[in-house]
Amino acid sequence: MSTVRVGAEVLGWTAVLAGAAGVALHYSPFDARLPVLAAALAPYLMLGAVLAALLFAGVRSWAGALVAVLVAGVAAWTQAPLFTGGAVTGSGPEFTVAQANLLFDGADPAAFVGAVREREVDLLTVNELTPAALDGLAAAGLDALLPHRYVSPGRTASGTGIWSRFPLTGTVEFDGFVLNQLGATAEIPGAGPVAVFALHPVPPVYGIDVWAGELERLRALVERAPADRPVVVGGDFNATHDHAQFRRWLTGRLRDAAEQSGAGLLRTYPADKRYPPLVGIDHILLAGGRAHGVETVALPGADHRALVARVRLDS
């Protein structure tokens, strides 16, 4: 056996193992530091199976190629929901939802408000909202665009806010979380009351148990929203589609806007590096409606890209 063939097979089997590890991390239910942190990079590991298939085919190692193709097939299955989407249905009103993490008061207020204006955002959820950022956004004209707001600014990452073109009632801040978590009811013409949540569970680096616990408790809060009204959830979940802890949110009536629209892997973080964002941890979730035209938007000065979705309610 030639040196080239041996090297290709060693590299191929290593790549197969990387792909299999990505699949295993996608399905991992464990609230342990290493699998949780590594799961954010699962799609990149899964690409190893594709590389392996090419390597094995190149040296005509058909057994290895078969294994690699099988692993690649399972990997593709895990990501397919993000790319398939479906037709927009429903006869209810349409509106635009945006979610943004401002990096404390790092995001450029004028640029941010300009993006909100350009995309005709009707409902906005914001994380890492400081008092200085709140003043900057007001000075840049956000309150003129979206005159109804419920905000709980805080130091560094704790602040959260909801802005709306529609009146907000029933505002509530949920206690017992590290960062501020908000809820409200938007009175949308033609739809009636719509439950709105702006959420920000702690990142897993804060503590895996705390992160997993907050995700589960926040999910329970949202699930308690009245079943007869639509729900819109925006937030920096500090979790990707490849975290089983996040996908539990999608086992009930909630659906991921990016998944509904077939938008693919919408990577939002980190957005302040020389390389493109690597992971998608910002999400818009819906019940009683369907999203289309979902995209990410650059925010100068922030370390996240914003997420924008056009939503049509079911009725």
Q: From the DSSP assignment, how many helices (H) and strands (E) are in the chain?
A: 11, 12
Smallest CA-to-CA distance from 234 within 124, 110, 121 is with 124
Distance in angstroms (rounded) separating the CA atoms of residues 79 and 115: 29
Token digits of residue 155: 């130091």
Q: Are 306 and 115 in contact (CB under 8 A)?
A: yes
Q: Are 231 and 193 in contact (CB under 8 A)?
A: no
Token digits of residue 307: 């997420």
pLDDT at 1: 54
At 174 the three-state DSSP class reads strand
pLDDT at 315: 76
Place of tokens 């739809």: 191
Q: Are 177 and 210 in contact (CB under 8 A)?
A: no
Residue by residue, pLDDT tens for the chain (315 residues) are 578 777 778 899 999 999 999 999 999 999 999 999 999 999 999 999 999 999 999 988 999 999 999 999 999 999 999 999 877 777 899 999 999 999 998 999 999 999 999 999 999 999 999 999 999 999 999 999 999 999 999 988 999 999 999 999 999 999 999 999 999 999 999 999 999 999 999 999 889 999 999 999 999 999 999 999 999 999 999 999 999 999 999 999 999 999 999 999 999 999 999 999 999 999 999 999 999 999 999 999 999 999 999 999 997
At 173 the three-state DSSP class reads strand
Instruction: Residue count of the chain, please give it.
Output: 315
Token digits of residue 209: 């148990």
pLDDT at 64: 93
77 membership: H or E segment, kind and range:
helix 62-79
Largest CA distance in the chain: 73
Smallest CA-to-CA distance from 68 within 79, 86, 57, 52 is with 52
At 179 the three-state DSSP class reads coil
Name the H helices within 253-302. 257-261
Q: Which tens digit of pLDDT belongs to each residue from 184-241?
A: 999 999 999 999 999 999 999 889 999 999 999 999 999 999 999 999 999 999 999 9
Q: Which residues of 210-232 are buried (b: 16+ CB within 10 A; e: fewer)?
A: bbbbbbeebbebbeebeeebbbb
Partnered with residue 312 across adjacent β-strands are 94, 290
pLDDT at 9: 86
Q: What is the DSSP letter of 140?
A: T
pLDDT at 71: 98
Beta strands in the chain (DSSP E): 94-101, 123-127, 148-152, 160-164, 168-174, 181-188, 192-199, 231-236, 255-256, 282-287, 289-297, 306-313
Q: Residue type for 41, please?
A: L
How are beta strands 255-256 and 306-313 bridged, if at all? unpaired
Q: Are 64 and 9 in contact (CB under 8 A)?
A: yes
pTM of the model: 0.95
Q: Are 286 and 311 in contact (CB under 8 A)?
A: yes
